Amino acid sequence: MTFSLHGQAVSGGIAIGRAHLVSHAILEVAHYQLRERDVAGEVGRFDKAVATAGAELDSLRAEASVPGAPAELSAFVNVHAMILADPTLTDGVRELIRERRCNAEWAMVQQMQLVVDQFDEFEDAYLRERKQDIVQVVERVLRVLQGKQRKLARRKAATGADDDLIVVANDLSPADTIQFKNLRIGGFVTDMGGSTSHTAIVARSLAIPAVVGMQYARPLIQDDDLLIVDGTRGVLIVDPDGGVLREYRLRKTELELDRTKLQRLVTGRSRTLDGEHVELHANIELPQDAERARDVGADGVGLFRTEFLFMNRDELPDEDEQFEAYRSVVKALGDKPVTIRTLDIGADKEARALRNRAGNRAAPNPALGLRAIRFCLAEPQLFLVQLRAILRASHYGKVRLLIPMLAHAQEIEQTLALIELARFQLREARQKFDAVAIGGMIEIPAAALALGPFLRRLDFLSIGTNDLIQYTLAIDRTDGAVAHLYDPLHPAVLKLMSQTIQSAQRVAMPVAVCGEMAGDPKLTRLLLGMGLREFSMHPSQLLEVKQQVMMADAAQLAARVARLLKLDEPEKISEQLEKL
Ligand code: PEP
Ligand code: MG
């Protein structure tokens, strides 16, 4: 039966292929021993998670009764609520926690295995299939317990035009998604998530269609269902009929043709009609992405998100391994600059190798917690390893060092002192390194509002709009429930951005935008009008942005954008943006 689901379009294009359901519960969860005095607390934590999962199902039930909601939804919600309320599952977990003094996640998976094994014995095929529901209920509780997902099971993609593999998951962590780089994944959809979550960002960097925040995809879709993902419109079509399939195949071919045409711009100069040169840099996550940056003719790497080097492994990369990774990018870019951002771990980006470090508490508000530079300053030894590796790579090309999440003058000072210490250590060890420019990310409103120390102490700025929007509007960028309020055009955001660009330019300090706004061709004219001359984005977006630059008149845009920035009504801002 054909049906469609809607969510948030996070990465454009069309994928047509077979569903691959990703289940997290059966994948590894941490196992640790509790102290006797912590057992009761752990049972309490489990009870709370069960209650939260129950409340989630209740609100899903309310949505299922809305006219037009898929009929299957209400059925699955009821089954899931029944399973969750059944003591066979939950009492067993409590007992395991008490008897074995183990953590709730581990106990939950053990108990699930026990129950599921019993289901395998059933003669009745219908009952045997309910096993999947148990797994999904367990996943729901685990998600509450952990707030994160685990490594994806790998499945080899089949080949053939219609056999793109489309991953369907409740949620994917950035660590999960980055693994798609080594697999042939045609696209993915998730039930959770917001448009600038790192999962969405990785999807854009992979240039695969993706839709997040679908809510019901995982429970309604079966393995191997034929799917169409329209990543531009945020639509998923399940089991399409022949006509729809033909139409989407045609659209897919047209899009591919458009991409081919854009290739012609690779060698063109990135200049506006009135002769303003605009630098277009690439954002990368892994060293292998450097090649794509080069292929699209990027002026350099404007953001190397190094935290991805730390994910999906048990041991931290040591200084030599990091140095080799950074050097390979620097060498691939030749004489073009490579902006290496120091570890921005925390919030939605996790690395199990860092689990026992300072940031590894269950932070009450991870996005406001010990993330990025805060984590690095709390772990100076670990930070120094990275700083030395980056400095050593500077000997092989043009390196710029970028520090994320700065807000306080003393953080700048501490960071500069540690960089100095790293230089001293390298000199002692007779290691070579060259001069590097040191920049700060402007992604916390406080930084944009109090730029003085940044302008005095650093060499360049890079505006991280993803976090700047999140922190200005108090909208969790990973939370689909508030995604409709995540507004890059909010007047407060535009004001912070334009003030930062102007203040930097007043003292002739280079300033870039490296958040997702820089890669959105619909916003290129706005940013040019703000005075921005350095953009950094995924290589897959660079040529479309270049096309916009080549068609723009910077002087004219400056005057129009100055007027737009005086507005404070969202409709008027959108209207003026259209007119740009
Ligand atoms: C940003 O916040 O805009 C940014 C570029 O950093 P990240 O998306 O990695 O947080
Ligand atoms: Mg950021």
Show pLDDT as tens, one digit a residue, over the chain (580 residues). 899 999 999 999 999 999 988 765 445 577 788 889 999 999 999 999 999 999 988 887 776 676 765 566 677 788 889 999 999 899 999 999 999 999 999 899 889 988 888 877 777 766 776 777 888 788 889 878 876 433 333 333 333 445 678 999 888 877 778 777 767 789 999 988 887 788 888 888 888 999 999 988 988 898 889 999 999 999 999 999 999 999 999 999 999 899 899 999 999 999 999 999 999 999 999 999 999 999 999 999 999 999 999 998 888 999 999 999 999 999 999 999 999 999 999 888 888 788 778 755 667 888 999 999 999 999 999 999 999 999 999 999 999 999 999 999 999 999 999 999 999 999 999 999 999 999 999 999 999 999 999 999 999 999 999 999 999 999 999 888 898 999 999 999 999 999 999 999 999 999 999 999 999 999 999 999 999 999 999 999 999 999 999 999 999 999 999 999 999 999 999 999 999 9
Give the total number of structural domains in the chain.
3
pLDDT of amino acid 69:
59
Structure tokens given for 296: 């699209």
Burial of 508 (0-12, 13-18, 19+ CB in 10 A): exposed
Query: Probe ligand 1: pick from 443, 475, 534, max atoms within 8 Å of CB?
Result: 443
pLDDT of amino acid 121:
77
Q: Angle between the 104-120 and 131-146 helix axes, to the nearest 10 degrees?
A: 180
| Whether residues 317 and 178 fall in one domain | no
Select from 145, 166, 187 the last residue of a domain: 145
**Spatial CB neighbours of 430, under 8 Å, sequence gap ≥ 6:** none
Q: Which residue, chain included where needed, has tokens 């509790």?
A: 34
Query: Probe ligand 1: pick from 284, 477, 514, 537, max atoms within 8 Å of CB?
Result: 514
Q: What does the buried/exposed string (b/e) look like for 327-360 if buried means 16 or more CB atoms within 10 Å of the residue's CB?
A: bebbebbeebbbbbbbbbbbbbbbbbbbeebebb
Ligand lying closest to the C-alpha of residue 405:
2
Query: Probe ligand 1: pick from 467, 469, 520, max atoms within 8 Å of CB?
Result: 467
pLDDT of amino acid 360:
54
User: DSSP readout, 553-571?
Assistant: -HHHHHHHHHHHTT---HH
Interval between CA 49 and ligand 2 midpoint (Å): 29
- 535 phi and psi, to 5 degrees? -115, 145
Nearest 5°: the CA angle 509, 549, 568 is: 70
Helix (H, G, I), strand (E, B) or coil at 174: helix
Interval between CA 466 and ligand 2 midpoint (Å): 6
Q: What is the pTM of this model?
A: 0.77
Burial of 576 (0-12, 13-18, 19+ CB in 10 A): middle
**Catalytic residue check, 277:** no
| Whether residues 399 and 451 fall in one domain | yes
| Whether residues 81 and 164 fall in one domain | no
Burial of 489 (0-12, 13-18, 19+ CB in 10 A): middle
Whose CA is closest to atom 6 on ligand 1?
464
With contact defined as beta carbons under 8 Å apart, do 213 and 480 qualify? yes
Whose CA is closest to atom 10 on ligand 1?
467
Select from 233, 260, 287 the last residue of a domain: 260
- Under DSSP, the state recorded for 550 is H
pLDDT of amino acid 24:
54
Cβ of 577: how many Cβ atoms within 10 Å? 19
Ligand lying closest to the C-alpha of residue 285:
1
Whose CA is closest to atom 1 on ligand 1?
464
| Whether residues 470 and 370 fall in one domain | yes
| Whether residues 29 and 79 fall in one domain | yes
Query: Probe ligand 1: pick from 281, 305, 406, max atoms within 8 Å of CB?
Result: 305
pLDDT of amino acid 152:
34
Query: What whole-number distance in Å separates Cα of residue 22 and Cα of residue 5?
Result: 18
Interval between CA 429 and ligand 2 midpoint (Å): 33
| Whether residues 121 and 237 fall in one domain | no
Find out whether the beta carbon of 348 lies less than 6 Å from any atom of ligand 1.
no
Cβ of 569: how many Cβ atoms within 10 Å? 9
Whose CA is closest to atom 4 on ligand 1?
464
Ligand lying closest to the C-alpha of residue 469:
1
Q: How far from chain centre, in Å, is Cα 189?
A: 14
Interval between CA 13 and ligand 1 midpoint (Å): 23
The domain that contains 360 carries what CATH number? 3.20.20.60
Q: Could you list the residue range(s) of the whole structural domain that residue 81 is in?
A: 25-145
In terms of residues, how long is the chain? 580
- Measured from the Cα of 305, ligand 1's closest atom is 9
- Measured from the Cα of 344, ligand 1's closest atom is 9
Interval between CA 349 and ligand 2 midpoint (Å): 11
**Catalytic residue check, 514:** yes
Find out whether the beta carbon of 344 lies less than 6 Å from any atom of ligand 1.
yes
Helix (H, G, I), strand (E, B) or coil at 196: coil
Select from 108, 123, 145 the last residue of a domain: 145
List the strands of the sheet with 185-190, edge to edge: 3-6, 235-238, 226-230, 14-22, 164-169, 185-190, 210-212, 8-11
The amino acid that residue 516 corresponds to is E
- 261 phi and psi, to 5 degrees? -60, -40
**Active-site option among 198, 281, 490, 538:** 198
| Whether residues 251 and 364 fall in one domain | no
Per-residue pLDDT reduced to its tens digit, 276-291 = 999 999 999 999 999 9
pLDDT of amino acid 403:
98
Cβ of 118: how many Cβ atoms within 10 Å? 11
| Whether residues 32 and 18 fall in one domain | no
pLDDT of amino acid 229:
96
| Whether residues 36 and 117 fall in one domain | yes
| Whether residues 411 and 481 fall in one domain | yes
544: alpha, beta or left, given left = phi > 0 and alpha = psi -120 to 50?
alpha
Query: What whole-number distance in Å separates Cα of residue 457 and Cα of residue 468?
Result: 21
| Whether residues 129 and 178 fall in one domain | no
| Whether residues 140 and 189 fall in one domain | no
**Active-site option among 20, 24, 376, 514:** 514
**Spatial CB neighbours of 431, under 8 Å, sequence gap ≥ 6:** 388, 392
Whose CA is closest to atom 8 on ligand 1?
466
Query: What whole-number distance in Å separates Cα of residue 42 and Cα of residue 104?
Result: 6
Find out whether the beta carbon of 346 lies less than 6 Å from any atom of ligand 1.
no
Find out whether the beta carbon of 174 lies less than 6 Å from any atom of ligand 1.
no
Query: What whole-number distance in Å separates Cα of residue 485 and Cα of residue 407?
Result: 24
Q: Which residues pair with 520 in a beta bridge?
A: none
Per-residue pLDDT reduced to its tens digit, 405-455 = 999 999 999 999 999 999 999 999 999 999 999 999 999 999 999 999 999
Interval between CA 347 and ligand 2 midpoint (Å): 10
The domain that contains 248 carries what CATH number? 3.50.30.10
Structure tokens given for 330: 């620097």
Interval between CA 411 and ligand 2 midpoint (Å): 16
Query: What whole-number distance in Å separates Cα of residue 53 and Cα of residue 82?
Result: 12
Find out whether the beta carbon of 443 lies less than 6 Å from any atom of ligand 1.
yes
Q: How far from chain centre, in Å, is Cα 222?
A: 26
